[in-house]
A and B are shown apart, each in its own frame.
Chain A
């Protein structure tokens, strides 16, 4: 089962030093993605989704964040043990690319869109040739890149693609910018796209279009997607599998059907219960997210959990597989007969 994983994270611990002390933002997280699989990483704000995504990309803030334990195996290599030089050249922006949360501020405001895309193409293209210090590419190569970019922009259904390349980021709409971001994530023919809340900043009507597009393109190219979101509806729309995190711990991972149909973990159940339903009753989860400095011991959800017992506070439950594609970490999972 493990052998075919594209990305496999084991026992990942990440801590941030803050003015008030050390926050354990990721507390022994296990997580995996198979080739071509679209996995949703869901949880409330501050649960560690973004930290997990940034750990994979190697762009945690250098001054405050520290990976204290664990491994990130991508394509049979432990990224955490690789030379920064090799990651920058072969992994980041090449085999693993990124779609940011905010397409408004993630474009550099003072360069044309064309400049920014062509630079990515120049440094990250799968058929990259050698360059000088600032990487001035040969003209024949630039033309080849330009044609490829145009084709890709048409693929993400942008109108007037040559015109868009001459525009500055503030001259195109938010939805178009996010389409551009998706195109840019596909430039280097990656194996994995990390999409960090890619639709949060967009209008609801555009959200659905972008999600559909992302799913369709990933499917066509057999690219795996790690999709972080706090929007369960969005996860349901596009994911094959969903992993839930709570306060820096993963608690459950299951296929979309099992996740929404037969949630096992009490937190998942509460989370799904807090969705608006036809009955009009909105149920919140009692209590609040714990601070990550001196968090609850054991399973971090136990102070708010209706099923919790004394052993929940003593030690975190081991990984448990009720079925081959359903993982939970709970002593008292719900059962379905």
Chain B
């Protein structure tokens, strides 16, 4: 019941949060001096033609009216039309969302899978060679710019060793579209060729995104494990002679994960922001690349749509994190 109450509570908060997000994004994107209509109409358009387009897209009205119209549209599920692609924003976003989600989930999955055990080992063998090595690795992970890392990976693995593709999401047309997630779809229709291609294309962008995420997870897990190891309950468990593998991997780890899980929620947000850069380098047809193009073209509806979708995604991910948090740590439910 507590979980249900939490979900309802967060869903109610979702609306004002997203409206606030919309207002801020709308304001910022309109403060930038740009004239998308003039750009769209082309060099040879007459002032009358430009004015007509302005009226057609509603840009002749005051800003607050434009904002109200947009928000009313959103409540009806209408995110407007991209002046650049001339297609509904919702269609554009839906066609690109799976690519970004696939990349983000792979990066989180990989960084969690590797980061948590490494964090535990760094804490158990603190100040050992392994710990120092991991410290260098994690500081690098947090300090190195992802676009630079992406280019280094491309140079090494794609150009020099030629074991991965340079860029793109897949060779050929990809598997029959069901969910839009290539890995999932190719598994569903048993298209092994597509699966292999999709997977090999995922490796470099995933590594690029996962590296800083893993660094965060290692550091938080290490700190959490150290905290737990020095606690009275671990002293008690040791005094009662429980095997150390049970103490570490059961009793300590669950306490340490409380902090790590919160971080993983935040990492989703960082990864979506990071995807903007990484997708540009790897020519990955996801939301990030779409957002970059939208900003370049001052495509207001597209910018707003991107913000709305990623904002909602981030809020939902953090709702899931809060639920997990409650499951891992029963004290938070009171």
A→B interface (CB under 8 Å): 54, 57, 59, 87-89, 91-94, 97-98, 100, 102, 105-111, 119-120, 123-124, 133-135, 168, 170, 184, 194
- Minimum CB–CB distance from B117 to chain A (whole Å) comes to 16
B233-A168 in contact (CB<8A): no
Counting CB contacts under 8 A, is B95 at the interface? no
Q: Which of B237-272 contact A (CB under 8 A)?
A: 237-243, 245-246, 250-251, 254-255, 258
Given A105-B233, A110-B328, A111-B254: A93 and B240 interface contact (C-beta under 8 Å): yes
Question: In the docked arrangement, what's the CA distance between A87 and B238, Å?
Answer: 12
Given A111-B254, A170-B331: A100 and B246 interface contact (C-beta under 8 Å): no
B241 CB contacts on chain A under 8 angstroms: 87-89, 91-94, 123-124
A105-B328 in contact (CB<8A): no
Question: In the docked arrangement, what's the CA distance between A177 and B232, Å?
Answer: 14
- Minimum CB–CB distance from B213 to chain A (whole Å) comes to 24
Contacting residue for B237 out of A54, A94, A108, A168, CB 8 A: A108
Given A106-B233, A108-B233: A119 and B242 interface contact (C-beta under 8 Å): yes
A54 CB contacts on chain B under 8 angstroms: 239
B329-A100 in contact (CB<8A): no
- Minimum CB–CB distance from B46 to chain A (whole Å) comes to 71
Given A119-B242, A123-B243, A124-B240: A110 and B235 interface contact (C-beta under 8 Å): no
Question: In the docked arrangement, what's the CA distance between A224 and B251, Å?
Answer: 29
Closest B residue, CB atoms, query A196: B239
B236 CB contacts on chain A under 8 angstroms: 98, 100, 106-107
A89 CB contacts on chain B under 8 angstroms: 241
Beyond the given pairs A89-B241, A97-B240, 5 more chain A to chain B contacts, judged by CB atoms under 8 angstroms and listed by A's residue number, are A54-B239, A91-B241, A98-B240, A105-B231, A123-B241
Given A119-B246, A168-B330, A168-B331: A107 and B240 interface contact (C-beta under 8 Å): no
| Interface contact tally, CB-CB below 8 A | 79
A124 CB contacts on chain B under 8 angstroms: 240-242
Given A109-B331, A170-B331: A92 and B239 interface contact (C-beta under 8 Å): yes
Chain B positions 322 through 334: 1 when the CB is less than 8 Å from some CB of chain A, otherwise 0: 0000001111001
B239-A105 in contact (CB<8A): no
Contacting residue for A120 out of B231, B240, B254, B258, CB 8 A: B240
Closest A residue, CB atoms, query B249: A134
Question: In the docked arrangement, what's the CA distance between A91 and B334, Å?
Answer: 39
Question: In the docked arrangement, what's the CA distance between A2 and B183, Å?
Answer: 74
A107-B233 in contact (CB<8A): yes
B233-A135 in contact (CB<8A): no
A100-B330 in contact (CB<8A): no
A170 CB contacts on chain B under 8 angstroms: 330-331, 334
B232-A100 in contact (CB<8A): yes
- Minimum CB–CB distance from B72 to chain A (whole Å) comes to 47
